[in-house]
Structure 1
Amino acid sequence: MIDEIDSFIGVAQLWMCDEFGHMNRRFYAAMFDDATLVVLRFLDVDDRQDSLGWADVRTETDFRAEVTAGTILKIRSSVTKIGRSSVTIRHVMTNSSNGETAAVESCVSVRFNLQRRESSELGAAIVTRAELLFAA
């Protein structure tokens, strides 16, 4: 069991900061989105099926500490829930310099049939991979 994976590393750039000197939430969203894509790629190693994809249907972010320009950020991700057609992913963003948690996000992603425009069962292979990242 792996429990969690490194899903993102990056730097808060000056242009990402607002007039108060903090990284704007739109950039947190982008970093968490990149982390989600890494997790989904880990889960869905055989994603060559043109008719299937993923749709994020819910996100919730808790901002815990300031992020300023130059901060090196790392996101580690795990799966907290496995449903019939969805997974809930937990992302923890930390400041690499001091280990402080900057933000935590929960994201529900649904396996989606792109032709029928409806949810699709995860399938055994995805469930098996999700269980590797399961953290209760």
Structure 2
Amino acid sequence: MEITYRGVVYPAQTDAMGHMTVQYYVAAFDQAFWHLIHSLGYNADWRFERKEGWADVRYEIDYRAELKVGDLFKVASMVKKVGNASIVTHHQMFSANDELCAEIQMTSVYFDLEQRTSKAIPNAIKEAAMSRIQLPSDL
């Protein structure tokens, strides 16, 4: 797994229970995903130049420990599976003390932004992703 995002919990990111709210966990995981696919060769400018991007179609999240105001955290990411037009990634969020706070498995589809349909992942990205697949036993 590689570190793909680092953050800090701000007061506005917490809920009435005093811990980081779900929308900010998801936002951190989403940002980690973008860093991961960039490392695989995806260029964010393709959203405009090629009208190609990504659409998340499934999230499965497990919350393990709370993050509170001022807590530093990091997200580590890996590729689990690569299909013709989709990729399954796994991301783990850790506190500054390396306690596992949350993890998500995401399924994302490579997407034609004009046609609003899936399309094949470019070969270079697919090959890079396949070379970095990690299985659960690798965690």
TM-score (norm 1): 0.89
Deviates most, 114-123 or 38-47: 38-47
Matches within 5 A, 1:25-64: 25-46=22-43, 48=46, 49-64=49-64
Query: What SS is found at the alignment partner of 1:108?
Result: strand
1:6 matched to which residue of 2?
Answer: 3
Distance 1:46 1:19, change over 3 A: closer
Q: How many angstroms does 1:87 deviate by?
A: 0.4
Q: How many angstroms does 1:46 deviate by?
A: 4.6
Structure 2 unaligned segments of length 5 or more: list them.
none
Q: How many angstroms does 1:45 deviate by?
A: 3.5
Cα-Cα RMSD: 1.4
Q: How many angstroms does 1:6 deviate by?
A: 1.2
Structure 1 unaligned segments of length 5 or more: list them.
none
> Structure 1 vs Structure 2: percent identity of aligned residues?
33
Which string of whole-angstrom CA distances, capped at 9 and with x for unpartnered residues, describes residues 6-63 of structure 1?
A: 1100101122111221111111011111111111222233553423111111111100
CA distance in 2, matches of 1:33, 1:46: 16
Query: What SS is found at the alignment partner of 2:75?
Result: strand
Q: Determine which structure has greater relative contact order: mean sequence separation of CA pairs < 8 Å that are 6+ residues apart, divided by chain length.
A: 1
Is the 8 Å Cα contact of residues 51 and 113 (structure 1) preserved in structure 2? yes
Divergent runs of 4+, >3 A: 44-49
